[in-house]
Amino acid sequence: MIRNRSSYYLLVLLIACIQLQAQAKDYDICIYGGTSAGVIAAYTAAKAGKSVVLVEPGTRLGGMSSGGLGYTDIGNKYVVKGLALDFYRKIGQHYGKFEQWIFEPKVADSIFRDYMRKASIDIVYEHVLSAVEKKGTHIAQILVAPIKGTDGQERAISAHVFIDCSYEGDLMAKSGVSYHVGREDNQVYGETLNGVQLMDGHQFPDGIDPYQIPGDKSSGLLWGINDEVLKANGTGDRKVQAYNFRICLTNNPANRITIEKPRNYDPKRYELLKRWKEKYPWKSLNDVFIWSRMPNNKTDINNRNGFSTDMIGMNWDYPEADYARRQEIIQAHEDYTKGLLYFVGHDPSVPEFIRNEMLAWGYPKDEYTEHGNWSPQLYIREARRMIGEVVMTQHHCQGREVVKDDIGYAAYTMDSHNCDRLVVNGMVKNEGNVEVGGFPPFPISYRSIVPKKTEVSNLLVPVCLSASHIAYGSIRMEPVFMVLSQSAAFAACLAIDGKKAIQDVSAHEIKALWKNNPKGDGRKPDIWINSMERKDVQLTGKWEEEKRGGFGSSYLISTDHSQRSTARFKSSDLSPGNYDIYTYFPKIENSSAQLLYTVFDGKQKTAKTLNLADIKIEGQTSGEWVWLGNYSIKNSEASYVEISNEKASGKIAANSVLFVPKE
């Protein structure tokens, strides 16, 4: 018999602690967030022999890469390596190609699940982070709670190293790491493209009235317009660039589900679209959507122009909201997006030919079957961003500052979607869109994925990494996240093996793992020969350097085919074996219709002509790898691939040669 109330509560507490300890499990590495980055980090760590647990609040792995973003934002394929590249090659195998960057969500989903099947990883679905327990700067364990309405118990997970691969940075934030939400003022890092930016991209034309009764300010603003005064360019704020869904539809009648009127449908939400189109009439669906075609009659639809799939200004509190509030925001975006699709297909203000064009499309029966044929993944373009040991900025993107401890590269345009929609000079305008590129691939610092040592010593953050808003806009691409997460997994293993803080791991150690074990699972590395590495390339004749459009930062072009020019690619890293050999063909003006090449395997020469006119370059890329054949290399020291301008009818590129070992 319990004699007093305090003894009773003490006993209850003791029992709870015993139960919690029984549920707790110790791992080498805990990864929070089953995004594409989370999958790659988990696979890498498990293949290194570490015990790994992956916690995912949802039920689907892969994040945006399996959630609708099939028209991959690449920038320059040079930055995609390791398991990220392996992922796109597995996509290619599915479609009968070497690599494929345009794909259906279900194909990506199957590949991510296959990675997990091939590694010994505990996966905890439908649990969200509830607490972090630290001892000094060391995360001792985390508590994850089941999502409301699901079966399960709160779990305690302890690990030597934690990796936050979520789009939101929840583990980072609850661990006491410094971070930023929104846009820094330009003055913070001496930038020019941060903060408020009123530009022409994805913008309303002049003259679109913002008021419910045109010309009558007292009638109030139309839905979706913020009642705020535009601040000076470069002013910092906490506004977050717009989110949307990357929409997968199909026009295959046998696989199509009709787009019905969604719940909470309100045509007034699309009044701005009506007013815009009254002044600038519809021509096609591409007026309002980036309608990218996917295999098997499907789409990856993205935002375009002034009014589209971006729900501008409706996501500002998402980064720091709790799970329940985030679900409300996600549902609001789903309602808005489905409503937009229904509006375009049914509203009488839309011309009949556009409505008919829209009605040819519907939700695919074979996609997101576990989620009502709609993506469960909202495109969280940006949320929290860590303030780590190094902050990547516009200066790094444009090459004015170059880090030496690189563990990955970025190459995409500095890109931000609009952050706000307001009234400027009596007209509706979007604010925040930035698209500035024209720079080569740039290195990303290891110190940008680790917190300050005084804050947390066993956490890596490869997704919500340390970068200014505008630099993050270049880095925040799915292939780059995968590369950075593989580097994070390498670093976690090195920290565990060396019994040291992750800040004490050397980038040189990480680079050594990249060189010797790029896929993280012991498979042989590719041998890449770059035309700009003169020790590996012997030149004759006349060649000019070109910095745009190739694989890597630059490459060579022969523009004068009146004299014979050759580029002979050899590598000291090549060993005897069986290889598929490729050369990179960049999209260049006035290209020759054919290319003469010779392969010497060490014993025999094979000369062939490649028909360049047949090469099709698809997606957001400037070129493609072209297969030259499968060869058995007998003598690695003597072997070479030679490209010649002989019989050329225009420019010839000597960019790169790739030897891919046959497993």
Q: How confident is the model at residue 167 (pLDDT cuts 50, 70, 90)?
A: very high
Asked whether the predicted pLDDT for residue 86 surpasses 60, the reply is yes
Nearest to 408 by CA among 72, 68, 40: 40
Does residue 597 contact residue 608 with C-beta atoms inside 8 Å?
yes
Q: How confident is the model at residue 150 (pLDDT cuts 50, 70, 90)?
A: confident
Residues above pLDDT 70, as percent of the chain? 96
The CA distances from residue 583 to 463, 620, 642, 656, 663, in Å, are 32, 19, 10, 6, 20
pTM of the predicted protein model:
0.94
The CA distances from residue 591 to 35, 586, 626, 627, in Å, are 40, 9, 15, 18
Measured between alpha carbons, how far is 569 from 559 in angstroms, rounded to an integer?
A: 19
CA 630-633-635 angle, to 5 degrees, is 165
Element (H, E) at 516: helix 507-516
CA 407-556-82 angle, to 5 degrees, is 25
Measured between alpha carbons, how far is 241 from 414 in angstroms, rounded to an integer?
A: 13
Report the Cα 72 to chain-centroid distance in Å: 8
User: CA torsion 478→172→432→69, rounded to 10°?
Assistant: 20
pLDDT, tens digit, for every residue of 284-327?
Answer: 999 999 999 999 999 999 999 999 999 999 999 999 999 999 99
Does residue 247 contact residue 362 with C-beta atoms inside 8 Å?
no
Alpha-helical segments (H) within 517-559: none
Asked whether the predicted pLDDT for residue 14 surpasses 80, the reply is no
- The tokens for 397 are 């993107």
Does residue 441 contact residue 553 with C-beta atoms inside 8 Å?
yes
pLDDT, tens digit, for every residue of 318-358?
Answer: 999 999 999 999 999 999 999 999 999 999 999 999 999 99
Does residue 101 contact residue 88 with C-beta atoms inside 8 Å?
yes
Residue with tokens 């594409």: 36
Residue with tokens 């003894």: 7
pLDDT, tens digit, for every residue of 500-527?
Answer: 999 999 999 999 999 999 999 999 999 9
Does residue 120 contact residue 159 with C-beta atoms inside 8 Å?
no
Measured between alpha carbons, how far is 569 from 653 in angstroms, rounded to an integer?
A: 13
Residue 621 pLDDT: 87
Nearest to 470 by CA among 232, 180, 202, 243: 180
Residue 12 pLDDT: 46
Element (H, E) at 144: strand 138-146
Report the Cα 523 to chain-centroid distance in Å: 24
Q: How confident is the model at residue 18 (pLDDT cuts 50, 70, 90)?
A: very low
